[in-house]
């Protein structure tokens, strides 16, 4: 057995994804956002989270999926990447599970239309579930992170 990592499982367009717990600050319900001009469409705006202005992006839009109406189960997962906090809008956040690093395979070139660079790997869970692990540093690529840093000022 390899080491185990704790992963937060969330749903997006009928698929299950995961991000490592260490990268997650909090999971919030949907809330009103302030739009920011001259940002990509998937940047939905900023929220004031306990006194911290946090940019929020819609992961469906980021990955080129059709965006959907927000529901009662829609969540904003607040993640921290390179000292920047960003909210990720997901369809629902379901679970925290342990994943054995030996059960994580390299991602294929494209999974469900998402380029491999956005993915850390595919985790096999209990032989019945596949979980797509995100590489948050790529999901929020450097140019966008710089743009998002500027939003915080």
Q: What percent of the chain is modeled with pLDDT above 90?
A: 50
pLDDT of residue 28: 96
Strands in the chain per DSSP E: 4-12, 15-20, 24-29, 43-49, 52-58, 75-81, 84-90, 92-100, 104-105, 110-111, 114-115, 119-125, 129-134
pLDDT tens digits for 39-50? 888 889 999 998
pLDDT at 133 over 60: yes
110-115: average pLDDT: 62
Find the range with the poorest average confidence among 7-11, 55-59, 128-132. Answer: 128-132
pTM above 0.85, yes or no: yes
> Is the pLDDT confidence value at 59 over 80?
yes
Cα 120 to Cα 16: distance, rounded to the nearest angstrom: 14
Q: Range of 144's domain? A: 4-152
Q: Over the stretch 62-86, which tens digit does the pLDDT of each residue have? A: 888 888 899 999 999 999 988 889 9
Average pLDDT score over residue span 121-127:
87
pLDDT of 145 over the 60 cut: no
Q: What is the CATH number of the domain that holds 101?
A: 2.40.50.180
Asked if 75 and 93 touch (Cβ cutoff 8 Å), the reply is: yes
> pLDDT band for position 31 (50/70/90)?
very high
Number of domains in the chain: 1
pLDDT at 60 > cutoff 70: yes
**What residues have CB less than 8 Å from 85, skipping those under 6 apart?**
25, 49, 52, 54, 78, 79
Q: Cα–Cα distance between 113 and 86 in angstroms, integer?
A: 23
Closest CA to 23 of 40, 43, 7: 7
Give the mean model confidence (pLDDT) for residues 97-124: 81
- Per-residue pLDDT at 142: 59
Tell me how far CA of residue 129 lies from CA of 15, 125, 136, 148, in angstroms. 10, 5, 21, 34
């Amino acid at each position: 057995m390899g080491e185990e990592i704790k992963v937060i499982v969330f749903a997006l367009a009928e698929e299950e994804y995961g991000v490592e717990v260490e990268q997650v600050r909090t999971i919030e319900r949907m809330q009103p956002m302030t739009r920011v001009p001259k940002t990509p469409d998937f940047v939905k705006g900023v929220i004031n989270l306990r006194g911290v202005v946090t940019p929020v992006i819609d992961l469906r839009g980021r990955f080129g999926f059709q965006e959907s109406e927000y529901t009662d189960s829609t969540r904003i997962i607040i993640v921290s990447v390179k000292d920047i906090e960003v909210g990720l809008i997901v369809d629902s956040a379901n679970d925290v599970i342990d994943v054995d690093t030996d059960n994580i395979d390299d991602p294929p070139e494209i999974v469900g239309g998402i380029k491999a660079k956005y993915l850390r790997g595919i985790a096999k869970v209990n032989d019945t579930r596949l979980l797509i692990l995100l590489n948050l540093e790529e999901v929020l690529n450097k140019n966008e992170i710089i743009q998002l840093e500027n939003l915080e000022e």
